[in-house]
Amino acid sequence: MNEYYVYIFRCADGSYYTGVTNDYLHRLWQHQEGIDPHCYTFRRRPVTLVYVGIFGDINEAISWEKKVKRWSRKKKEALIQNNSDALHKLAECRNESHSKNRDALPSLVSARDDNA
């Protein structure tokens, strides 16, 4: 069975770089050596490996990588720290349509009744 890895590096400037590979130690070496001068990490070396997720399916790994790349810095840090409580709290929807906020919204049904 093949293994695929989603990894997060902390760069020297404090930013995070997320990627997917089948050999995260080799990938770390490539980033540290600056193999690709066009890579995000090239001018942000050294990098430190701070997270590795293991997957048996490349499609699942790619999907997870894409999801993590869209996350906020705070959410990535909760993942790195394996802080599931913070991760769940940061994942909560905060817009007005979220179900826990429904009581704070005016009732559209009563507004329609008033206009009838």
Q: How far apart are CA 86 and CA 68, in angstroms?
A: 15
Other residues' Cβ atoms within 10 Å of the Cβ of residue 13: 9
For residue 97, what pLDDT band results from cuts at 50, 70 and 90? low
* Residues 6 or more apart whose Cβ sits within 8 Å of residue 91: 75
pTM for the whole thing?
0.78
- Is the pLDDT at 107 greater than 80? The verdict is no
Domains of the chain and any CATH numbers? 4-94 (3.40.1440.10)
* Residue 2 DSSP one-character state: -
Provide the residue type at 110 as one letter.
Answer: S
Express each pLDDT in 25-53 by its tens digit: 999 999 999 999 999 999 999 999 999 99
Distance CA 9, CA 52 (A): 9
